Amino acid sequence: MCGIVGYAGHRQAADVVIEGLRRLEYRGYDSAGIAVVEDGKLRSAKRAGKLVNLVEALAEGAPLPGRVGVGHTRWATHGPPTDPNAHPHTDCNGHLAVVHNGIIENFAALRAEAAAAGHELASDTDTEVVAHLLEAEMAAADADGTQLARPGSLAEAMRRVCRRLEGAFTLVAVDIRDPGAVVGARRNSPLVIGCGEGENFLASDVAAFIAYTRRAVELGQDQVAEIRADGVTVTGFDGVPARVTGYRVDWDVSAAEKAGYEYFMLKEIAEQPRAIADTLLGRIGADGNLTLDEMRLPADELREIDKIVVVACGTAYHAGMIAKYAIEHWCRIPCEVELASEFRYRDPILTRSTLVIAISQSGETMDTLMAVRHAREQRSRVLAICNVNGSSIPRECDAVLYTRAGPEIAVASTKAFLTQLVGCYLVALYLAQLRGTKYGDEARDVVSQLAQMPNAVDVVLETMEPVRALARELASEGCVLFLGRHVGFPVALEGALKLKELAYMHAEGFAAGELKHGPIALIEGGLPVVVVVPSPGGREVLHDKIVSNIQEIRARGARVIVIAEEGDHEVKPYADTLIEVPHVPTLLQPLVTTVPLQVFACELATAKGHDVDQPRNLAKSVTVE
């Protein structure tokens, strides 16, 4: 949701924090702010709008010197994106500043309590109440005769405040009375520690500090971290020292730069062949069988599975829909696909023999995390398919398959989606191999086919100029419909979602067989309809049926844009625009048919003058329910 950076070290904090916020702006860009501690003073600045507004204000005003600081980019929840609602928020005396990611569910009662105690609240946010709670804790300690300037006093105040809070939150604070410290806390919201030489970092994503260190530490649930230039201390909310796990980030700062592309999304679309190859790397063991290094679930337990439930949100949900086809076809296990936001509220039937697969790019998607926790409470086994090492969801699951897509900065998912598909295919094949529904050589054959997918996606990318031209031509349209069958149906949904996210257009995806059950009423003269056509060699009956669907919409004047494999001569006469993709096995077809839809949405949004990396009202990681 929001981007947070904290720094304590030997550099100018403002420079480090602003650079980190640039790398985290994809997490929220409604407003931005910074606070720095120096010589017993707290200096801060904040502005509504994108980070550039803050940078310009800093350039015009007095410098913010200091070697301890915190910064924030906001995705608004409580209160509109205005200067007063921007973070950091301060206490009444200007001694401390706090930034926040998440939602404090009991803030209304706490706000009323603070107001009754005489605190002046200047914003509409749930965050500001934390500043006043910290102020009260520090004042109470002072009244008891405690020396507030001692190391650790802000951390103790944070622990006391966190024990009163309900909801999901990351909090990071600085205080002039504990001047060398930056203190952070997390519950159900991401926060990671970066460990440098003579400097340390707190951030909601490792991208914030990757320019300075690749050494990171996972901050666990209900933990408080205190960083100083010379060290890090982590405790629970109860003050008990916590054991932490360190890891090394396996990508560098260049992976988070645009590398000459106008937008991160363009770069990430182009990176998809490499991302697929990296996800497949090392998945065949020395014995020739498929092996998943992160699979911590014993083989005997996986053989007992009698039902699989995939939970995910947004684009990841579409990956799960495609996974269902592969799982049921290869494993012969019943599979359900659920929106994570609805999953636990309908009282699903879960047992010890149920495997729940949670798909999330960030590993911090709050709806999916809550679904994981519900499944574990029901004693189901839970496996994560995730892109971010050390994030919350894989840490709370029984097993994980990391997709190795590298950092994805653009809000609209591209390479993460394709690698999620590859991850789903690998899990399905692994289960099929364990359960004997596929022999080892059969699984290896499919993995061999998957190994050809980077080349196939490369071929698609090399032929996208006509798609870009089409997108520019259709930029003035008000609506686009998408149709698909079999695995093409989730691809149609994904194509429509991309257009909604980026171009702010009305776009809908439908199962083509449902056309006559209502959606055909939407067809009118000139309406663009994108049709994802199944391979004629894979599912002939479905191919024939979708050709009939195309004829039905052509008869009503629609403009038909067809995505079909090379050599599909049967569909060619009925396409106003034909986009050809390489022939691949039916279940793997989404890996190539999705790419033109990504390019189409990106180019159409660009033609409309939109920022495709940071579409309005959206943030990369949805870390609140």
Contact 11, 199 (CB under 8 A): yes
Check whether the bond before 88 is cis (ω within 30° of 0): yes
Which pair of tokens denotes residue 600?
């189409």
Burial label for 444, CB within 10 Å (0-12, 13-18, 19+), is middle
- Residue 193 bridge partners (DSSP): 202, 217
Report d(CA 453, CA 105) in Å as an integer. 45
List the 182-187 sheet strands across, edge first: 89-90, 96-104, 167-175, 182-187, 223-228, 231-236
Contact 20, 196 (CB under 8 A): no
- Residue 400 bridge partners (DSSP): 384
Q: How many CB atoms lie within 10 A of CB 420?
A: 29
Residue 598's alpha-carbon distances to 135, 142, 359, 592, 604, in angstroms, are: 48, 58, 20, 11, 10
- Kindly tell me the sign of the dihedral angle through the C-alpha atoms of 216, 404, 413, 465: positive
- Residue 28 bridge partners (DSSP): none
> For 105-230, where are the E strands, in sequence order?
167-175, 182-187, 192-195, 200-203, 215-218, 223-228
Type of residue at 482: F
Token look-up 């203190």 returns: 183
Contacts of 230 (CB under 8 A, 6+ apart): 198
Report d(CA 398, CA 615) in Å as an integer. 35
List the 479-484 sheet strands across, edge first: 506-511, 479-484, 528-532, 559-565, 577-581
- E strand or H helix at 454, and its extent? helix 453-462
Phi, psi (rounded to 5 degrees) for 336: -115, 150
Active centre residues (catalytic): 2, 620
CA 350, chain centre distance (Å): 26
Contacts of 270 (CB under 8 A, 6+ apart): 261, 461
